[in-house]
Chain A
Amino acid sequence: MNKQENIKAIEISKTLKGRSLWVDARRRLFLNKAAVISLFTLIIISIVSVFGPFFLQYNFSDTDWGSIYQPPSFETGHYLGTDGNGRDLLVRILHGGRLSLSIGLIATFVSVFIGVLYGTIAGFFGGKLDIFMMRIVEILYAMPYLIFVIILMVVFGRNIYFLFIAIGAVEWLTMARIVRGQTISLKEKEFIETSKALGQSNTLIIVKHIIPNLAGPIIVYITLMVPSVIILESFLSFLGLGVQEPLTSWGVLISEGSREMETAWWLLIFPGSFMVITLASLNFIGDGLRDAIDPKEY
């Protein structure tokens, strides 16, 4: 064996060893019935939201004054009924789903990015920098952050891209705390000491050793953060401060539905159910992942 092959063999053995932990976690996750069913449900909701509208006969902004407040019916093709403008509810829910889910994902990634960076830096370098950075987090924590988001939306206009950033910007605090704690405990581990002794730079250690080892808690937290972001977006849209017409999200639909529930219950119940099922699925997946990655007997 020459040198190259040697290195290759080491690489392979590394990936094998690294995977076994995740294989184990996956096995445990798939043993959890609630998590598997939820995963399945979530995938279906996502696929239907993304591709469903192409297969339906109505467009999400088509108004039809001849068929306003139609109850759900198979004959008319308005499977979930229509709203006060005669728009098909199912198409609108699916479009809303696209928006709600993508806001959930994008805003979560924004906050995970900020949180992981902030938390690892604070935790890794420690000392005065850590105290200072965590004091800032503490101060921000004490603020009524949702009210902050509302004000940000008011000041900077109801722009959907800004919505992503505003939500991401307030949701990173918890992530930063978790990551910092994990980093501090990782920092004491032998393999980090070894890397330091080998003269690797701090950036390299953070990127190559610390962050990959944070994957578990980060993944768990993402599944729990996505639902809270979806709720936050819907909350803003419900108040009329989030997504604006003609775009729609679940929050907008629920808001419309709650105003018109006396004449058309379906306008509230169906968007609400889609949202609740999605949130419940994400919660179950999050719980399942937590148990799978960090098994603790209770």
Chain B
Amino acid sequence: MRINMIKFITKRLIIAIPTLLIIIAFGFIMMRVAPGGPFTNERALPPEIERNIQEAYNLNKPIYEQFFIYIKNLSVGDFGPSFKYKDFTVKELIISGLPVSATLGLSSIFISLILGSFLGIIAAIRKNTYFDYSIMGISLIGICVPSFVMAPILSLFFGLYLGLLPTSGWNGGNIFNLILPITALSLPQIAVISRMMRSSTIEVLNSNFIRTAKSKGLKSSYIIRKHVIRASILPIIEYLAPASAGLMTGSIIVEQIFGLPGIGRYFVVGALQRDYTLVSGVMILYASLLIILILITDILRAYLDPRVKI
């Protein structure tokens, strides 16, 4: 079993590597051909930055060697100097933003998964009752109100009108500063997950093996716990990676609106100011995170569904 697992992971990594290489190549090419990029002479740069970049990218060497050096640097976490924040490297910027973004992202994904699945299961068990209708109604709001509408409205209502919660700032990770951003970030995902969980649970409840479990005279709570959930949670596990991608992009907005100094905020500033090194650094970070998540998804699925071949 353990040897199989190692084989399985290596196999997945072999698929993941080209993906990552394509993304890195994309970032590399972008930096070299993009208008206003660091290696075009379209813009006059302050000499000290020019020198930094010349050194960091070995521009005198042939292009394939440059690419090789770029990958080598990336593998030790060196994303190069920032193009706009001249005293910082991209790595430093990412490290400074990481605690904020990770706190937001991880708590949102846990809250969405747990709350979304829970609400979905209950809605499925109580199908066509008022409980079901109200959960599905609320989740529809979550789906139709995008985060960039939800976040300002939340901060307008709870922050400005009711004065209950602070509307912006990180404040060292104070819990009250986190409530609104996490809510804005999780709501759409809770909505999607609860709908998915509801329909997959209904499907499982109608399946033959649940009829068998019922014919055994087992308690419904036991049937739900042992027979239903592990089968009905599979689509949610598959959704883990897309959900995280959604949270990553969502956090870009939410960090912007609530003035949180996370990676997403650097990304937007970098994009607006054409800081290509910063932008491609963040892109590579996000892509690697997603690839790791997809790997975790595969492992979880193999664990939950014995039919999946490892």
Task: Determine the chain A residues whose CB is within 8 A of the CB of B100 once the complex forms.
Answer: none
Contacts of B199 in A (CB 8 A): 298
Cβ of B283 and Cβ of A144 under 8 Å apart?
A: yes
Per a CB cutoff under 8 Å, which of A150, A258, A262 touches B257? A258
* Binary B-proximity of A261-298 (CB < 8 A = 1, otherwise 0): 11001001100100110011001000000000000001
Among B140, B146, B279, point to the contact of A231 (Cβ < 8 A).
B146
Chain A residues numbered 238-277 whose CB sits less than 8 Å from any CB in chain B? 238-241, 251, 254-255, 257-258, 261-262, 265, 268-269, 272, 275-276
Does the CB pair B271–A239 fall under 8 Å? yes
| Inter-chain contact A144/B140, CB cutoff 8 Å | no
Q: List the 7 closest pairs (A to B, CB-CB), nearest first.
A: A258-B152, A280-B144, A146-B249, A279-B144, A155-B34, A272-B149, A144-B286
Which residues from B are CB-within-8-Å of A147?
248-249, 267, 282-283, 286
Chain B 20-52 interface mask (CB, 8 Å, partner A; 1/0): 001100100010001100000000000000000
15 CB-based A-B contacts, threshold 8 Å: A143-B22, A145-B245, A147-B249, A147-B283, A150-B271, A150-B279, A151-B30, A151-B280, A153-B271, A154-B34, A231-B146, A238-B148, A251-B148, A255-B148, A283-B144
Q: How far is the CA of A210 from the CA of B303 in the complex (A)?
A: 38
CB-based nearest A residue for B160: A262
Within 8 A of B (CB), among A133-159: 138-139, 142-148, 150-151, 153-155, 157
A143 pairs with B23, CB closer than 8 A: yes
- Residues of A within 8 Å of B156, CB to CB, are 261-262, 265, 268
B153 at the interface (CB under 8 A from A): yes
Interface-lining segment among B2-10, B81-89, B171-179, B287-295: B287-295
B152–A143 touching, CB < 8 Å: no
Q: What is the 8 Å Cβ interface bit string for chain B, positions 175-192, against chain A (1 contact, 0 not)? A: 000000000000000000
Q: A146, A151, A255, A283: which contacts B279 (Cβ < 8 A)? A: A151
A143-B23, A235-B253 given; A151·B148 CB < 8 A: no
Give the size category of B's interface with A.
35 or more
Please determine whether A257 and B152 come into contact, CB atoms closer than 8 angstroms: yes
A235-B19 contact given A150-B271, A254-B148, A261-B152, CB 8 Å threshold: no
**Which residue, B22, B271, B287, B294, has most C-beta atoms of chain A within 10 A?**
B271
Contact A144 B248 (CB under 8 A): yes
By a CB distance below 8 angstroms, the chain A residues around B202 are: 298
Residue of B whose beta carbon sits closest to that of A241: B271
Chain A min CB distance to B250 (Å): 9
B271 & A154 in contact (Cβ 8 Å cutoff): yes
A258 touches B148 (CB 8 A): yes
Interchain CB contact (< 8 A) of A268 among B34, B143, B153, B286: B153
How many Å lie between the Cα of A138 and that of B12 in the bound state?
Answer: 12
A154 touches B287 (CB 8 A): no
What residue in chain A is nearest B280 (Cβ atoms)? A151
Q: Let me know if B19 and A142 touch, CB within 8 A.
A: yes
Quote the shortest CB–CB distance from A240 to chain B (angstroms): 6
Is A239 touching B144 in the complex (CB atoms < 8 A)?
no
**A144 and B245 in contact, given A240-B272, A241-B271, A265-B156 (Cβ under 8 angstroms):** yes
List of A residues within 8 angstroms of B23 by Cβ: 143
B64 nearest CB across to chain A (Å)? 22
Classify the interface of chain A: helix, strand, loop or mixed. Answer: helix
**Chain A residues whose CB sits within 8 angstroms of the CB of B18 once the complex forms:** 139
Residues of A within 8 A of B241 (CB): 142
- Say whether, besides A147-B282, A235-B253, A283 and B287 are in contact (CB < 8 Å): no
* Chain A residues with CB below 8 A from B144, complex form: 227, 276, 279-280, 283
Contact A239 B253 (CB under 8 A): yes
Take A144-B249, A147-B267, A268-B153 as given contacts and tell me if A235 and B148 are in contact as well, using a CB distance cutoff of 8 Å.
Answer: yes
A268 surroundings in chain B (CB, below 8 A): 149, 152-153, 156
Q: Is the pair A239, B152 in contact by a Cβ cutoff of 8 Å?
A: no
Query: Is B145 interfacial (CB 8 A cutoff)?
Result: yes
> Are B143 and A283 closer than 8 Å at their CB atoms?
yes
Assembled-state Cα–Cα distance A240/B148 (Å):
13
- Are B272 and A241 in contact, CB atoms less than 8 angstroms apart? yes
Question: Are B35 and A283 touching (Cβ within 8 A)?
Answer: no
B121 at the interface (CB under 8 A from A): no
Q: A141-181 toward B: CB 8 Å interface, digit per residue (1/0)?
A: 01111111011011101000000000000000000000000
Q: What 6 additional pairs, Cβ within 8 angstroms, besides A155-B34, A157-B35?
A: A150-B271, A150-B279, A155-B35, A254-B152, A261-B152, A268-B152
Chain B residues in 8 Å Cβ range of A241: 271-272
The reply to whether B268 and A142 contact each other, CB–CB distance below 8 Å, is: no
How many angstroms between the C-alpha atoms of A279 and B188 in the bound complex?
13
- Residue on B nearest A152 in the bound complex, by CB: B30
Which of B140, B153, B252, B271 contacts A151 (CB under 8 A)? Answer: B271
Bound complex: CA of A275 vs CA of B146, how far in Å? 9
| Contact call A272/B279, Cβ cutoff below 8 A | no
Chain A residues positioned under 8 Å from B148 (CB to CB): 234-235, 238, 251, 254-255, 258
User: Is B66 interfacial (CB 8 A cutoff)?
Assistant: no
Please measure, in the bound complex, the distance between the C-alpha atom of A276 and the C-alpha atom of B140, giving whole angstroms: 11
How far does the alpha carbon of A255 sit from the alpha carbon of B256 in the complex, in Å? 11
- Residue interface mask B271-310, A partner, CB < 8 A = 1: 1101000011011001100110010000000000000000
Q: How close is B42's CB to chain A, nearest CB, in angstroms? A: 12
A142 x B152 contact (CB < 8 A): no
B291-A142 in contact (CB<8A): yes
Q: With a CB–CB cut-off of 8 A, which chain A residues contact B291?
A: 142
- CA A231 to CA B145, docked complex, whole Å: 9
